[in-house]
């Protein structure tokens, strides 16, 4: 099983600041990695797929990078609606998709 480790667990930032979230895979997943955003009481929402492609409706302030085992989600300038939990997910060994443990972006 491919294990995804996200860091940090919690990120405390103010609106307007830059957020950098990390996801590390236990083995190479090539570029087969996605990022999801989840707000309380809601289903997750796909933000980024295949490491760096924005899903439909994802604002340009969200960007993804990386390949192999190290990936990053960057939010260039946090908006109030961006405070949420973010999960990475790999599809390298589809259909056994796995998720990281999540990073909570909270208001400082």
Partner 1 sequence: QVQLVQSGAEVENPGASVKVSCKASGYSFTSYYIHWVRQAPGQGLEWMGIINPGTGSTTYAQKFQGRITMTRDTSTSTVYMELSSLRSEDTAVCYCATGGDYYDYWGQGTLVTVSS
Q: Which residues bind partner 1 (CB under 8 A)?
A: 1, 32, 34, 36, 43-46, 49-50, 55, 87, 89, 91, 94-102
Q: How far is the CB of 95 from partner 1 (least distance, A)?
A: 4
Taking the least distance from each CB to partner 1, the nearer of 43 and 60 is: 43
Q: How far is the CB of 20 from partner 1 (least distance, A)?
A: 20
d(CA 107, CA 28): 33
CA-nearest of 25, 73, 69, 79 to 49 is 73
Q: How far is the CB of 16 from partner 1 (least distance, A)?
A: 28
Taking the least distance from each CB to partner 1, the nearer of 17 and 22 is: 22
Taking the least distance from each CB to partner 1, the nearer of 68 and 101 is: 101
Q: How far is the CB of 36 from partner 1 (least distance, A)?
A: 7
């Amino acid at each position: 099983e491919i294990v995804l480790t996200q860091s940090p667990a919690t990120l405390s930032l103010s609106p307007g600041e830059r957020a950098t979230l990390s996801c590390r895979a236990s083995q190479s997943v090539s570029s087969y990695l996605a990022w999801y955003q989840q707000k309380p009481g809601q289903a997750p929402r796909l933000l980024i797929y295949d490491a760096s492609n924005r899903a439909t409706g994802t604002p340009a302030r969200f960007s993804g990078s990386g390949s192999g085992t190290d990936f990053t989600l960057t939010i260039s300038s946090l908006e109030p609606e961006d405070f949420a939990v973010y999960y990475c997910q790999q599809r390298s060994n589809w259909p056994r998709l796995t998720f990281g443990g999540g990073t909570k972006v909270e208001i400082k």
